[in-house]
């Protein structure tokens, strides 16, 4: 399952001017955490973000950054928690909604993922990644027509997107397989033959 990202430039938001002037140790910890993240050292980054958050519990940027580190480690519950903390203060933050939607998608919580991606496209109707990833969630629920609608939207915004063509083709195939299977179960021999041919089953 290939997911698409829309991450704030530089991967992590560096807030160099955030009220750390009086505490050089915390500024160093924040900068070190950002550097560790960008180097793929997520455990080290999380450790330093923890230090910053313990002293500045209202620093929303640190929660988002730590959430991204948790996501990269595959700790999706922790990532969702941190993204939720950001959204409790900034509910219309499209990038954060998109990131939480991706975490839900990785967990197979498709309805919640769809809810977040739908909010994203309401805020930013041209964000291709949200349509693409919502299409994956719709496919996960067997809602192939809705998945095809999402991939069509991607292609209307970016006609050269080969991932969207491939994913739309898969959705069409999934839909065809579901139809053949149902017809076969109702006793249609031709449908059974088609289902076997496409699925490769004997």
Locate tokens 């560790």: which residue?
Answer: 36
Same-domain check for residues 112 and 135: yes
- Whether residue 199 is contained in a domain is answered as no
Question: What integer pLDDT is reported at residue 24 of this predicted model?
Answer: 79
Looking at the fold, whether 77 and 112 belong to one and the same domain comes out as no
Domain end marker among 90, 112, 130: 90
pLDDT at residue 19, rounded to an integer: 53
Model confidence pLDDT, tens digit, residues 88-110: 999 999 999 999 999 999 999 99
- Residue 103 and residue 71 share a domain: no
Mean pLDDT estimate for the chain: 89
Q: How many domains does the chain contain in total?
A: 2
Nearest to 13 by CA among 96, 72, 98: 96
Per mean pLDDT, which range of 8-17, 92-101, 124-133, 145-154 is the poorest? 8-17
Q: Which of 90, 115, 141 is the last residue of a domain?
A: 90
Given this model, what pLDDT does residue 202 score?
58
Nearest one of 83, 85, 82 to 98, comparing CA atoms:
83
86-121 b/e with 16+ CB inside 10 Å = b? bbeeeeebbbbbbbbbbbbbbeebbebbbbbbbbbb
Alpha carbons 5 and 24: distance in angstroms, whole number: 33
Residue 26 pLDDT grade (very low, low, confident, very high; cuts 50, 70, 90)? confident
Structural domain including 32 reads: 10-90
Tell me what the mean pLDDT of segment 28-40 comes to: 92
Give the Cα separation of 112 and 117 in Å (integer).
9
Do 132 and 148 belong to one domain?
yes
Tokens coding 145: 């027509």
């Amino acid at each position: 399952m290939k997911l698409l990202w829309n991450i704030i430039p530089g991967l992590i938001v560096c807030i160099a001017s955030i009220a750390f002037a009086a505490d050089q140790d915390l500024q160093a910890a924040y900068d070190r955490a950002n550097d560790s993240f960008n180097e793929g050292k997520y455990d080290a980054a999380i450790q330093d973000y923890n230090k910053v958050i313990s002293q500045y519990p209202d620093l929303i940027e640190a929660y988002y950054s730590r959430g991204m580190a948790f996501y990269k480690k595959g700790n999706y519950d922790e990532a969702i928690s941190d993204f939720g903390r950001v959204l409790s203060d900034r509910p219309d933050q499209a990038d954060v909604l998109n990131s939480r939607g991706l975490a839900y998608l990785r967990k197979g919580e498709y309805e919640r993922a769809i809810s977040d991606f739908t909010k994203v496209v309401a805020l930013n109707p041209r964000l291709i990644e949200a349509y693409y990833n919502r299409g994956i969630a719709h496919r996960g629920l067997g809602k192939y027509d809705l998945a095809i609608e999402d991939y069509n939207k991607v292609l209307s915004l970016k006609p050269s997107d080969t991932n969207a063509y491939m994913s739309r083709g898969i959705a069409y195939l999934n839909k065809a397989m579901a139809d053949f299977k149902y017809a076969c179960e109702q006793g249609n021999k031709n449908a059974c033959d088609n289902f076997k041919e496409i699925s490769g089953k004997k």
